[in-house]
Amino acid sequence: MKKIINKKYNKNEPWFKWLTRELNSYEAFQDFDSGKNPLDVAEDFISLNKIAISEVFENFDEEDKDTLDQFLKLTECEMHVFRMLEKQIELRNKIRYVDFKKRKN
């Protein structure tokens, strides 16, 4: 797997570790609070990191593409888990408990 070649970062750092670190330190929630949607936030992130990302692509090989494909699958899986959790919370909030032991006379 090729490494990032960017003087601003450790040149021996794999691109996916660099990307994860940068994404984790990016203040996306501030952008969401200001009304931006996830696509706009992603485009801002790409724009801010375009030089490092272009360096990643210069040396991108099949192993890197496989790694990217695995990350895409993992991200899609995570999205589905969060959506399922969201649905469970919505259902839980809709359920009303009835105590059948208490009868009206």
Picking from 30, 95, 91, 17, the residue whose alpha carbon sits closest to that of residue 4 is: 17
Count CB atoms within 10 A of the CB of residue 15: 24
> How much is the pTM?
0.68
pLDDT digits (tens, 9 = 90+) for 26-43: 999 999 999 999 999 999
Which tops the pLDDT comparison, 98 or 29? Answer: 29
* Whether residue 105 has pLDDT greater than 80: no
pLDDT band at 11 (very low <50, low <70, confident <90, very high): low
43-95 tens-digit pLDDT: 999 999 999 999 888 888 999 999 999 999 999 999 999 999 999 999 888 86
